[in-house]
Amino acid sequence: MKFLVLALCIVGASCDLIPFSTDQTNKIRESWNQIKNNGVDILYYIFKENPDIQDKFPQFAGKDLDSIKDTSDFSKHASNVIRFFSELIPIIEGKPNVASSKFLIDNLAGTHKARGVTKDQFNKFRASLTNYIEDNVPLGKNVSAVWQKALDGVYSYLYLALDGNSFKLW
Ligand code: HEM
């Protein structure tokens, strides 16, 4: 799938993100609506599975996770992460809005590359997010495949941007 997306980008005058059927669109939106207010829990889950991600945050590095979970800093960052997906989901649903998606993903890549965040850490973040969805959305395993498909597309662009190639292809 990554190869297909990349091939479309290279061949096409403009890049297309993977299009979604109505059923897939509904699954993404409905499952996100069920967890979008759980930002603190999601971030806690991600940090619990990946202490190295927590340690990238100067304000959280080396601290006991349970002692920071209820702080305003923690909920502020949880809101940042939730906002990224809440803004992205409507623009990748159905017929994806490539320009808006590009803006968000390029921005994420730029700010995080500057902090030394690696692809491996982004992968681990993704794995924990999808684990969270499977564990916390009713029938989560049924929506897991469509989330993987959506994240395949997002991450293909994210990797291009992290490698500094996105502007050559868009
Ligand atoms: C798809 C995955 C991710 C999303 C959607 C995301 C989202 C965000 C957003 C929206 C911000 C605030 C805006 C900014 O400063 O860039 C942010 C900040 C930050 N992110 Fe991420 N992030 C992701 C993955 C990661 C990973 C894997 C790490 C570390 C290994 C990380 C470390 C940080 C740090 C250190 C900050 C700055 C926090 C602060 O100074 O308050 N992020 N992230």
At 134, which helix (H) or strand (E)? Answer: helix 119-136
Ligand 1 pocket residue status of 53, Cβ below 6 Å: yes
pTM over 0.85? The answer is yes
Instruction: Please give the single-letter amino acid code of residue 92.
Output: I
CATH number of the domain to which 39 belongs: 1.10.490.10
Residue 16 pLDDT level (bands cut at 50, 70, 90)? low
Domain that holds residue 140: 2-169
pLDDT band at 10 (very low <50, low <70, confident <90, very high): very low
Residue 6 above 70 pLDDT? no
Q: How close is the Cα of 22 to the center of ligand 1, in Å?
A: 30
Number of domains in the chain: 1
Output the CA torsion 55→60→62→66 (10° steps). -120
- Hunting for tokens 């929506």 — which residue is that? 143
Mean pLDDT of 70-81: 98
122 lines ligand 1 (CB under 6 A): yes
d(CA 36, CA 42): 9
- The identity of residue 5, as a single letter, is V
